[in-house]
Amino acid sequence: MRHVNSADGTAIALDEKGTGTAVIVVNGALSTARDGAAFADDLAAAGFRAVTYDRRARGDSGDTPPSSPAREVDDLVAVIEAAGGDAVVVGHSSGAVLALHTAASDLAARGVQIRHLFLSEPPFHFGTDDVPVDLADRLQALIDAGHGEDAVVLFQREAIGLPEEMIAQFRTTPAFAQIVPLAQSTVYDTTLTSALSTPTDAMLSVQIPVTILCGAQTFAFLSAAAERLAAAMPQAELIVMPESVGHRLDGAAATRIVTERCG
């Protein structure tokens, strides 16, 4: 793993596997580059250079508050630059929102290019059932008070919409303790997805190939969001993936889809 500096000086940790066309994996909430490792292995085996990275305030990356969607765009641009300035980007969940937001920025002026964009289950609300407007502030208050566990639970409840019984069960597992150090990132994910509840006109009209991915067995809200996004982007392709279950992108199936379009 190595580090690159974002525009504001934040150190962003990234890992690379394989050779060939760079494919950058942008993970969703409460995840790190390690969560994309198996997918990266699949991509590398298929002949790609897989790049995973820790978004700011996660894993081995740094953090320079206050964060904003624009700073996260800068982070992804820095990773694309480090990968050679020309890459395929696969974003999952909030990472898909970030990837599309980045593609809608003036990449030519930044000297980088996204050659194909894959958006896996982006949680666009399109202005319906948005998260509470004060959620980011309440999350930050809990974190500032040293209550990272409570912030993670609040995020799962109000931003993700997990049922109480699922949250209670997850709290008893070792995985819960592993994501508590990522509590600060819940503020950033909330800020990003709240600011971009509805894709902007620039996001909907990006001039690069776009493939929208959605699991056949995922949350109904995410299926509806994928279908609505595809309808708003007639230039995009929508693929329903039976292999992806429960808002988890199946790496092997995604690799096959990427290979068919970018191999």
CATH number for position 51: 3.40.50.1820
Sheet of 22-26: strands edge to edge? 2-5, 11-17, 49-53, 22-26, 86-92, 113-120, 210-217, 237-245
| 108 and 84 both lie in a single domain | yes
Contact 237, 211 (CB under 8 A): yes
180-213 per-position pLDDT tens digit: 999 999 999 999 999 999 999 999 999 999 999 9
DSSP 156: I
214-223 per-position pLDDT tens digit: 999 999 999 9
| 182 and 215 both lie in a single domain | no
Domain extent at residue 148 = 135-192
| 217 and 177 both lie in a single domain | no
What is the chain's mean pLDDT, rounded? 97
Say yes or no to pLDDT of 263 above 90: no
| 239 and 157 both lie in a single domain | no
User: Can the peptide bond before residue 66 be classed as cis, meaning omega within 30 degrees of 0?
Assistant: yes
| 91 and 142 both lie in a single domain | no
Its pTM stands at 0.97
User: How, if at all, do strands 113-120 and 237-245 pair?
Assistant: unpaired
| 140 and 208 both lie in a single domain | no
Q: Read off the pLDDT of each residue in 4-28 and give the average, rounded to a whole number.
A: 98
Q: Which residue, 170, 192, 214, sits at the end of a domain? A: 192
151-179 per-position pLDDT tens digit: 999 999 999 999 999 999 999 999 999 99
Q: What does the block give as tokens for 226?
A: 């994928």
| 201 and 187 both lie in a single domain | no
Q: Which residue, 155, 173, 192, sits at the end of a domain? A: 192
| 67 and 139 both lie in a single domain | no
Residue 39 gets the label, from left (phi > 0), alpha (psi -120 to 50) or beta, of: alpha
| 35 and 114 both lie in a single domain | yes
Q: Read off the pLDDT of each residue in 48-63 and give the average, rounded to a whole number.
A: 98
| 160 and 66 both lie in a single domain | no
Q: Read off the pLDDT of each residue in 15-33 and give the average, rounded to a whole number.
A: 98
Total domains, the chain: 2
